[in-house]
Amino acid sequence: MPVPVTKPQWEEDEDLLVMDETDIGTGLPAQIIVYNDDFNTFEWVIECFMQVLRHASEQAEQLALIIHNKGKATVKSGVKTELIPLCEALVDRGLSAEVEEA
């Protein structure tokens, strides 16, 4: 004889974690990648790296050469939430850049 299936007299609440945009990427290691293009001069790229990323002129020049020769380079590593505004500033100056999680 089959056992009748009965519905419980209560309903269990399910916890749901809701994340907003400010929670995404907090503290995650990441890097800014800059890609070579045919529009920006070496001088402009170097100036951007010095102004936005606070690189020394020698480091900025070396990165510009790497980007020119290899097509891209990691120009800054750190926490994703701190790198996003720096990357946006580079993009605003016309460079092709993105933040990539490490």
* Domain layout of the chain by residue ranges: 39-101
Query: Is residue 101 pLDDT above 80, yes or no?
Result: yes
Question: Quick one: how many helices (H) and strands (E) in the chain?
Answer: 3, 3
pLDDT (0 to 100) of residue 74: 98
Residue 75 host element (H or E): strand 72-79
Query: pLDDT tens digits, residue range 68-91?
Result: 999 999 999 999 999 999 999 999
pTM for the model: 0.74
Query: pLDDT tens digits, residue range 27-69?
Result: 899 999 999 999 999 999 999 999 999 999 999 999 999 999 9
CA distance to 16, 32, 40, per residue, from 81 (Å): 24, 12, 26
